[in-house]
Amino acid sequence: MHNIDIDLVEMTLDVMKYAINRITNTSPSLGDIKKEEELFALVGETITPEGIGGEKAFELFRDVLVKSTVPIDHPRHLAFVPASPTRAAVMFDLVTSASSIHGAYWMEGAGGIFCENQAMKWLVSLTGMPAGAFGVFTSGGTAANLSAMVTARENWRKKPDNCNKKGLIITSSGAHSSIKAMAKVIDADVHLVETDGAMTRIALQEQINSMDIDKRERLFAIVATGGTTNAGIIDDLQGIAAVCEKEELWFHVDAAYGGGALVADSVRHLFNGIEKADSITIDPHKWLFSPYDCGAILYKEPALALEAHSQEGSYLDIFKDEGASGFNPADYQIQLTRRLRGMPLWFSLATHGTEKYKWAVERGIELANKAGELIEGRSELSLVRPPSLSCVLFRREGWNAQQYKEWTYRNHRDGIALVTPTLWKAEGDYQTVLRFCFINPDTTEEDIRVILDTLGEP
């Protein structure tokens, strides 16, 4: 199966043809998600002792299986946090795979890690973190948040008094689900600052002041959000930084979604204070147009991450030898063997230049504001709050949760759009509302109108 023969040549041509067709298709079908048994009925058993052959397997994928997935880069896919990788980045993802580079240690991955580090330097420069700050690419925001929490916790446990204590983190009720999930992984407790908007300095300080001595001694980190997933809200990063400094707490900013907007002049000031963070999560696979999967964790003092994450083993000693010296990404996050997942971002940045990134992110913000105007112009619709970053929350007057759900399914089934409902707390109660999140610069005002028109139906 490692032979180079005519079958391989044919498969290569099939794959390249598919890849070119896919990345030049600006409006792929929104996908028809089938049950597993339905898919099995269509394709049958694909893993057999003799193999079904590359031609057949590829045909099943191209003609059946991929049609049961949702293309996240569809211009009317506005659910969750969509994605819109550049074509340069997607093509270089193929190159990254073809190059078979081990991305853990400089000794094996030097040239590829160099590429990643160039992209990382740019990311760090967007944050304004001080000289010496640096980071690594991770599989996503969850892994980046976990890597930061482990670093923060290990740093806190350097004090012998903290060694046997269960850690505690404060974050806001608007923080992403991965914060609670990753706190479970490190067996830390989480306290929430309840807020409908941004977590403020005052609310955070009150929460800390209200803790009993045991809890206060277990508190080691504050996680602020630089763009909540639900509504694009940015916490008071300046104020929270000041509290962290005063209380000697680790300051982490989860900007997995919003971090791309650091490049946008129109909203950059909203992130003031982020430069004081001890660690920052930014996901290039969200708003920096990278293919999955590509997250990033940035540290003010990378040496602390190295102390927390560097793995020891006689088989690894050679990588740390003087002769092999260089930047070792494995030392700064939870993963050892790793794909050089920052390379597609590097290639796309090198190809297009950073100004195009600025334009493409500003376009997402512009689309959100435009959607806000269009919603306000329709009597059956109302904004829940002004658009924030590229998120828009709005209501269809008179609809209940079931009607929103049916509308989502109907629009998906009809191939019009994928827009999903979410919950928003208003007057003490959670209400079902609709949410747009714009990422794809190819989305048009007409796309927004097409979607809004479907809400006018009874």
Task: Using CB under 6 A, list all residues that contact ligand PLP.
Answer: 81, 140-142, 176, 178, 225, 229, 254, 256-257, 283, 295
The span from the CA of 456 to the CA of 265, in Å, is 36
CB 163 within 8 A of CB 314: no
Q: How far is the CB of 399 from ligand PLP (least distance, A)?
A: 25
The residue among 85 and 141 lying less far from ligand PLP, judged by its C-beta, is 141
The residue among 71 and 227 lying less far from ligand PLP, judged by its C-beta, is 227
The span from the CA of 455 to the CA of 445, in Å, is 16
The span from the CA of 84 to the CA of 289, in Å, is 5
The span from the CA of 285 to the CA of 339, in Å, is 14
CB 261 within 8 A of CB 283: no
The span from the CA of 442 to the CA of 420, in Å, is 20
Task: List the one residue out of 124, 129, 15 whose CA is nearest residue 66.
Answer: 15
Q: How far is the CB of 146 from ligand PLP (least distance, A)?
A: 9
The residue among 81 and 340 lying less far from ligand PLP, judged by its C-beta, is 81
Q: How far is the CB of 81 from ligand PLP (least distance, A)?
A: 5
Q: How far is the CB of 78 from ligand PLP (least distance, A)?
A: 14
Q: How far is the CB of 285 from ligand PLP (least distance, A)?
A: 6
The residue among 168 and 256 lying less far from ligand PLP, judged by its C-beta, is 256
Q: How far is the CB of 230 from ligand PLP (least distance, A)?
A: 9
The residue among 339 and 396 lying less far from ligand PLP, judged by its C-beta, is 339
The residue among 220 and 257 lying less far from ligand PLP, judged by its C-beta, is 257
The span from the CA of 126 to the CA of 275, in Å, is 9
The span from the CA of 318 to the CA of 316, in Å, is 6
Task: List the one residue out of 435, 367, 369 whose CA is nearest residue 404.
Answer: 435
The span from the CA of 16 to the CA of 19, in Å, is 5
Q: How far is the CB of 141 from ligand PLP (least distance, A)?
A: 3
DSSP 2: -
DSSP conformation letters of 128-197? TPPTT-EEEEESSHHHHHHHHHHHHHHHHTTSGGGTTSPPEEEEETTS-HHHHHHHHHTT-EEEEE--SS
Which residues are paired to 171 by β-bridges? Answer: 192, 223
The residue among 147 and 328 lying less far from ligand PLP, judged by its C-beta, is 147
Q: How far is the CB of 228 from ligand PLP (least distance, A)?
A: 6
User: How many C-beta atoms surround the C-beta of residue 270 within 10 A?
Assistant: 23
Q: How far is the CB of 247 from ligand PLP (least distance, A)?
A: 23
The span from the CA of 434 to the CA of 119, in Å, is 35
The residue among 254 and 455 lying less far from ligand PLP, judged by its C-beta, is 254
DSSP conformation letters of 22-50? HHH-SS--------HHHHHHHH-----SS
Pairing of strands 168-172, 189-193: parallel
The residue among 75 and 82 lying less far from ligand PLP, judged by its C-beta, is 82
Q: How far is the CB of 175 from ligand PLP (least distance, A)?
A: 7
The residue among 30 and 231 lying less far from ligand PLP, judged by its C-beta, is 231
